[in-house]
Amino acid sequence: MNKNICNECGTENEQDYKYCKNCGTPLFEKEESKASPKSDFQSNDYIKAQRFGNKYFLYDCVEEFDGVPREDVALFVGRKEYEILPKFCKMEVSDSKVSWCWPASVLGLFLGPIGAALWFFYRKMYKPAVILSIVGTVIIILTSFFTATANPEIFDKAADSFKNGDYIGALTTLEEFLESDNTETPASKFADFIESITGLGTSIICGLYGYYIYKKHCIKKINAFKSSVKDSRYYNLGLISLGGVSGGMLFVGIIILITVSEIPLVMSLLYSFLK
C-alpha cells in the first residue's frame, strides 16, 4: 500500500490521513493537487502550515469568525496573520476571550498603559489606544503630585534661576537632579509603587484580552466595510488597506509616550513656582 510521506518530518502515513501522525503537518496527495489547483490563499496557508506545525490544526478547522470568512480576516490582519489567526481560531473553538498577547503585555509591563497603547495604535485600534493613553496620562499626573515634593530645594533653586533670567543655570540644576541618585523620598517611592502596580495590571489585562479585542475589531470593521463597499472587485484591496498595521500611528503613540513622560518634571517646576 502506498504511503503519504510527510514533507516536514519524513514520517510515513496511511493514505486516508489528512495530517501527519507525528508532527501534525497537513498532508496533500499528489493526485488531488494535480486535479484541483489550490487558490493563492490555500497555497499560502499550506506553506505556513508546513513552517509553523501543529497550531495549524485549529487554523484549518475554523472557516469563519462570527460569520466572517477566515480568508477575509486574514487579508484584514495582514502582517503576522500566520501568528494571529491561530489565536483567533483557538478562541473561536474554545468559546474563550483569552489568548495571550505578548506585544501588548510586554509594552504594558515596562511602559505602562501608554506603552500598551503602542500596540493598539500599530494595529489601528484607535479607541482602546486612546483610552489607554488617557489612563496612563492620568496615572502619571496623579503620581506627579508625589514626585513634585521630592528634593524640593533642587526645584526651588531651578525656579529661582529661571525667574532671575539664568536659564542655563536652571537647566543645569535640572540636569544635575535627573542624573543624581539621591532623589528617593517616601513620596517618590510611593509614586514608583503606583506606577509599577499600574504597569503590572496593564500587562495582565492587555496580555489576556488583547487578541480578543483585536478579533472583535476585525469583525466589526470587515462587516462595516462589506455593507458599504459598492464595487466587489475592490473588496479584497479595500480589506488590505483598511486593516494591516500603521507605522505612522505607532510614531504618534511614541510621541505621546515621550511627551507624557516629561509631566513629572513639569509638575515639579510648577510646584516650585506656585508654592
pLDDT in tens, 163-205: 777 777 776 776 666 555 555 667 778 888 999 999 999 999 9
Q: How many CB atoms lie within 10 A of CB 193?
A: 12
Mean pLDDT of the chain: 80
> Which pLDDT belongs to residue 143?
84
Q: Tell me the pLDDT band of 42, cut-offs 50, 70 and 90.
A: very low
Radius of gyration of the chain (CA): 26
For the ranges 12-16, 85-89, 219-223, the one whose mean pLDDT is highest: 219-223
**pLDDT, tens digit (0-9, with 9 covering 90-100), for 150-165:** 566 666 676 677 777 7
- Report which of 248, 236, 250 is spatially closest to residue 73, judged by C-alpha positions: 236
Is the per-residue pLDDT at 100 higher than 70?
yes
In whole angstroms, what is the distance from residue 38 CA to residue 51 CA?
18
**What contacts 218, CB < 8 A, 6 or more positions away?**
65, 68, 73, 76, 77, 88, 243
Q: Tell me the pLDDT band of 37, cut-offs 50, 70 and 90.
A: very low
In whole angstroms, what is the distance from residue 145 CA to residue 174 CA?
18
Choice among 4-18, 82-96, 133-147, 227-241 with the minimum mean pLDDT: 4-18
Is the per-residue pLDDT at 16 higher than 90?
no
Is the per-residue pLDDT at 223 higher than 70?
yes
Q: Tell me the pLDDT band of 79, cut-offs 50, 70 and 90.
A: confident
Q: How many CB atoms lie within 10 A of CB 171?
A: 13
In whole angstroms, what is the distance from residue 98 CA to residue 155 CA?
46
Q: What cell does 148 get? A: 513634585
> Which pLDDT belongs to residue 144?
76
Is the per-residue pLDDT at 267 higher than 70?
no
Contact 76, 218 (CB under 8 A): yes
DSSP state of 8: T
Stated pTM of the model: 0.71
